[in-house]
Amino acid sequence: MIILVVLLLLGGGVYWLTRRRASRTGEPVARDDAAAAMAEAAKPMSPAGDPAQVVLSHLTKQYATVAAVDDLSFTVEPGRVTGFLGPNGAGKTTTLRMVLGLARPSAGTATIAGMRYDQLVRPIRHVGAVLEGSAAHPGRTGRDHLRVICRAGGVPLKRADEVLALVGLTEAGGRPFKSYSLGMRQRLGIAAALIGNPGVLILDEPANGLDPEGIRWLRDLLRGLADEGRTILVSSHLLAEVQALADDVVIIARGRLVARGTVRSVLDSLARPGRTLVRTLEPDRLTPELGEEAIVTPGPDGDMYVTGVDAAAIGDAAHRAGIAVHQLKTERPDLEEVFLELTTEEAGIR
């Protein structure tokens, strides 16, 4: 009988209790120093967020026969956009899921502000994430999806409307998720990531499904967030996008680190120097004039590519020999080429 009464009180009272707790704003904070320090640490953040490093140290995910991620170490710095690149199946998503505590590393650690994701107090206020395949219930409206996250994260429900406005979904907020286009779904995911105004943002292929206008919007958003001092880690296979957006890049293939550094330094680290496209009507006469260092390879439409000497030297040589040159163009390898070169070497036959 006692059990019955207790259960009745407990069960029936749960909802009422939770409502009552929630309606209370601001719990009294104890006056001692430790509590004050905690309160300080978890205080609502300034618009600049809570910048923090993301540190991966020997991170490894071993499945039965393959290592999806293999001894991966790198650091993502605050105030910068870090592009995370790799071919399909390179282990990008697995890496991000381990950073976010959704998958367990076989070895190594991933920390955000020095803590594992599941050790963060109210992670919603520190880290926002958009993951591939993350979705909402098809019958739930976008606004309700965000409100559920607010509720679970202890954030006032009004925040759902604020982030809807931020991603331009205010009008669609009342419609069920299943009616959303791919681009709207991505925007909703980004809205969810921004709920806690986090200092760290981790995005897996966020440009997927966005139209060119959406991609531009996303680029501006991420640039703005990084300029506010936030840490942004964004994986992508759209290399041109990353090149336009990122300050740093990390390239992996087969779960292993291939290259990392600033976009510039990764480009410069390439062993192959820039080449010069030369358009002339007399390539056969010009070639011996270029000297012994020059390496000439035929290009399209009778053009030629020259490496080993720079464009100025080619121009001088042509002038001395009295050969007309119609075009001289120095081509730097872009990130795409570097990427293809690095990852095919790594992924191919070694």
Partner 1 sequence: MIMVGSPALARDRHTRTNPLWQVQAEIMKIRTTRLGWLFLIGVVLVTAWALLRNGAAHHYALYPPLDRLPAAERADAVADAAHARTSAGRAAIAADMMTSGQSAGVLLAMLLGLLTVTNEYAHGTATATFLTNPKRGAVIVGKFAAAVAVGVLFWAVSTALNLVVTLIYIPSQHVNVGVLDWIPLRSVLLNLLAYAMWAVFGVGLGALVRSQVGAVVTGMVVYLGGAAAAVVLFNLIYLAYHHTWVLAASVIAPAVASLVMITPGRAFDHAPPQWSGLLIMIAYAALLGAVGVLRARRQDV
Sheet of 248-253: strands edge to edge?
A: 127-130, 200-204, 231-236, 81-85, 248-253, 256-262
Nearest approach, Cβ of residue 190 and partner 1 (Å) = 11
- Of 183 and 198, which CB lies nearer to partner 1 in the complex structure? 198
133 contacts partner 1 (rule: CB under 8 A): yes
Q: Binding to partner 1 (CB under 8 A): which residues in 290-349?
A: none
- Of 25 and 65, which CB lies nearer to partner 1 in the complex structure? 25
114 contacts partner 1 (rule: CB under 8 A): no
Q: For residue 155, what are the contacts with CB-CB under 8 A and spacing of at least 6?
A: 124, 125, 149, 195, 196
Cα distance between residue 194 and residue 290, in whole Å: 57
121 contacts partner 1 (rule: CB under 8 A): yes
- Of 42 and 324, which CB lies nearer to partner 1 in the complex structure? 42
215 contacts partner 1 (rule: CB under 8 A): no
154 contacts partner 1 (rule: CB under 8 A): yes
Closest CA to 279 of 315, 327, 320, 314: 327
Q: Binding to partner 1 (CB under 8 A): which residues in 1-30?
A: 3-4, 7-8, 10-12, 14-15, 17-19, 21-22, 25-27, 29
126 contacts partner 1 (rule: CB under 8 A): no
Question: In the stretch 50-89, what mask flags binding to partner 1 with x, by CB under 8 A?
Answer: ----------------------------------------
Nearest approach, Cβ of residue 331 and partner 1 (Å) = 36
**Residue 46 neighbours by CB distance under 10 Å:** 11
Q: Binding to partner 1 (CB under 8 A): which residues in 218-277?
A: 221, 224-225, 227-228
- Of 120 and 267, which CB lies nearer to partner 1 in the complex structure? 120
Cα distance between residue 233 and residue 51, in whole Å: 12
- Of 198 and 275, which CB lies nearer to partner 1 in the complex structure? 198
Among 92, 126, 159, 260, binds partner 1 (CB under 8 A): 159
Question: In the stretch 178-207, what mask flags binding to partner 1 with x, by CB under 8 A?
Answer: --------------x---xx----------
Per DSSP, the residues of 54-120 read: EEEEEEEEE-SS-EEEEEEEEEE-TTSEEEEE--TTSSHHHHHHHHTTSS--SEEEEEETTB-GGGS
Among left, alpha and beta (phi > 0; psi -120 to 50; other), residue 209 is left
**Paired residues of 81 in beta bridges:** 232
State which amino acid sits at residue 47.
P
122 contacts partner 1 (rule: CB under 8 A): yes
- Of 131 and 306, which CB lies nearer to partner 1 in the complex structure? 131
Q: For residue 224, what are the contacts with CB-CB under 8 A and spacing of at least 6?
A: none
Q: Could you tell me how many residues make up the chain?
A: 350
Q: Are 231 and 79 in contact (CB under 8 A)?
A: yes
